[in-house]
Amino acid sequence: MTEASDAAQADRTLKARHRVMWALGDYQSVASHVIPDLGAVLVKECGVQRGDRVLDIAAGSGNAAIPAALAGADVVASDLTPELLEIGRHLAAVRGATLEWREADAEHLPFADGEFDVVMSCVGIMFAPHHRPAAEEMLRVCRSGGTIGLINWTPQGFVGRMFATMKPYAPPPPPGAEPPPLWGEEEHVHELLGDAVTDVDSRRRTVRVDRFTGPTDFREFFKACYGPTVAVYRAVAGDPDRVAGLDAALDALAAEHTVDGVMEWEYLLLTAHRRS
């Protein structure tokens, strides 16, 4: 095999692993019960209007795509994991939303240059392992003057720290893969977007999470429902000491971030316009 074909095969293997990981557990429960309004926040900040052609990258089960469709936009929800798209189709039907669902890799989008008025992602594109190709694709499919909108967890916030807590228990990442919470760093995202955008507005906000009765409730929920957490626990399942260590670490983190039964999870909200 040539070096190029080796790299292509490695990428296919990596993306297959990502598909499996996000199909684990019950991500829809996380989207619906923990952060149900986050997608609608992004839709509002992007100024989505009736008739806009909108792409939601790494849409999952449609946390942002469905509100955009309900606002009257012509929406495509793309994601690497077909199981999440199928859930999204059902949710859209229940809510009376009409949109297109497409299986697609954020790093290799099957759309034309400048096809969309709004290109957005709500805690989705950040999990593409190679940040620059994903950013380049996001920019490519957005028309001149169109809107780019992103919500991503910050490294310093709860979810970013959760990934740091799980890292010692997880298998090592493949060569070249970048940490997802980097998308929550203003400087990193500004560098990815570069001169291709203008009117950049980035703000740190928090989402209120009051779904959990305590640290153990949080840990057990994520252990059962959140694909990355499920995958880490599977990786250490044969070592009771490591399982107990991960349990304790996540409990301590949740306790640190809970005040009167409420957690505040920090994210970076960024909007910009594609430079003409």
pLDDT(140) > 80: yes
pLDDT(130) > 90: yes
pLDDT(1) > 70: no
Cβ burial of 134 (10 Å; 0-12, 13-18, 19+) is buried
Q: Tokens 């940490």 map to which residue?
A: 179
pLDDT(80) > 90: yes
Domains detected in the chain: 3-208+265-274 (3.40.50.150)
The predicted pLDDT at position 4 comes to 64
pLDDT digits (tens, 9 = 90+) for 165-195: 999 999 998 888 999 999 999 999 999 999 9
pLDDT(120) > 70: yes
In angstroms, rounded to a whole number, what is the distance separating the alpha carbons of residues 59 and 87? 11
The predicted pLDDT at position 92 comes to 98
pTM score of the predicted model: 0.95
pLDDT(240) > 60: yes
pLDDT(23) > 60: yes
The predicted pLDDT at position 274 comes to 98
The predicted pLDDT at position 2 comes to 74
Q: What percent of the chain has pLDDT over 70?
A: 99
pLDDT(98) > 80: yes
